[in-house]
């Protein structure tokens, strides 16, 4: 059970990291869109 929880946590962390990387790329390409997305993310968390 513990191993399953660990793998699940790892996958979620990797997903979060990938999402952040995508956000950084979007921010470089289109700063207005990136800032809008960041504002939404801040409201969610």
Alpha-carbon dihedral angle through residues 22, 28, 32, 36, given to the nearest 10 degrees = 30
Q: Mean pLDDT throughout 14-19?
A: 89
pLDDT for 23 beyond 70: yes
Q: Is the pTM here over 0.85, yes or no?
A: no
């Amino acid at each position: 059970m513990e191993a399953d929880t660990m793998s699940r946590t790892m996958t979620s962390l990797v997903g979060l990291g990938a999402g952040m990387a995508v956000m950084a790329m979007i921010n470089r390409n289109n700063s207005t869109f990136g800032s809008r997305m960041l504002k939404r993310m801040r409201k969610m968390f």
